[in-house]
Amino acid sequence: MELKGKVALVTGGGRGIGQGIALALAGAGADVAVADLDLAIAEETAAKVEATGRRSLAISVNVAQPDSVRAMVEKVEAELGDLDIAVNNAGIISIQSIEELTAEDFDRIMAVNAKGVFLCTQAAVRVMRPRRWGRIINVASIAGKIGFPDLSHYTASKFAVIGFTNAVAKEVALDGITVNALCPGIVGTGMWRGEDGLAGRWREEGESEEASWARHQKTLLPQGVAQTPEDMGQLAVYLACAEHVTGQAIAVDGGCTL
């Protein structure tokens, strides 16, 4: 699979899954812009992309803000060239029971995970449609396919991403643009690991974070082991190359949603 001459953009690319996807796209030959709320970590990933021999660019963005998203795409096109592949990966999580979830918490998650994907997809389609070629990859989740307790707001946001992806895929299908959702299972990024990650928060009495992480892999995943950012990168490269796969929500989850 070959992406030489293509220009990609990965939001939330400063770390975790986004970084894995950015490096995989670069490995397949694409030049990759790395956008993140945290410019310093976007610059670190951009340096890693450049170390592979590809061109890169670090951009500060808040995907929940229309002006910021518009400026991001303008910058990519001005500095790297026509945008071919948009990976809308930035996302956030929090853990709250349905009783304690506030309207503000709900809005905050939806603003980044659902509205952010809408704004980034719209900005990408606006430049891709006149050129009649594009690949849009929206990072959803296994929580876009099944519900998880204490994550009702996060689950709602990821179901929204999958429905949105399906609808836009049909809207642009005649214009050479594919739109798919990539659904990670459990990946040991900052979202899961550490005291504030899901493994830290979902500990049993007296359990270490490490033991909680091991338990969740065993209980949630038929394969028993977590996926990696590199696994997500492999699927992203495939979706960036594939011509006739569109409107799909593909899980890389070790069988979690079987």
Residues that are catalytic: 154
> Is there binding between residue 112 and ligand NAI (CB under 6 A)?
yes
First to last CA, the chain: 28
Q: Report the residue count for the chain.
A: 258
Return the residue of 27, 184, 233, 254 that touches ligand NAI, per CB under 6 A: 184
* Tokens found for residue 142: 């296994």
Within 189-208, the residues that bind ligand NAI by CB under 6 A are: 189-192
Dist CA 114 CA 107 (whole Å): 10
> Is there binding between residue 124 and ligand NAI (CB under 6 A)?
no
Name 35's bridge partners: 11, 59
DSSP 60-114: E--TT-HHHHHHHHHHHHHHT-S--EEEE---------TTT--HHHHHHHHIIII
> Is there binding between residue 61 and ligand NAI (CB under 6 A)?
yes
> Is there binding between residue 186 and ligand NAI (CB under 6 A)?
yes
| Smaller CB separation from ligand NAI, 34 or 177 | 34
**Which of the stretches 46-54, 74-82, 85-93, 214-222 binds ligand NAI when contact is defined by CB under 6 A?**
85-93
| Smaller CB separation from ligand NAI, 101 or 173 | 101
Residue 244, Cβ neighbours under 10 Å: how many?
Answer: 5
The footprint of ligand NAI on this chain (CB under 6 A) covers a number of residues equal to 30
Question: What residue ranges bind ligand NAI (CB under 6 A)?
Answer: 11-12, 14-18, 36-38, 41, 61-64, 89-92, 112, 116, 139, 141, 184, 186-187, 189-192
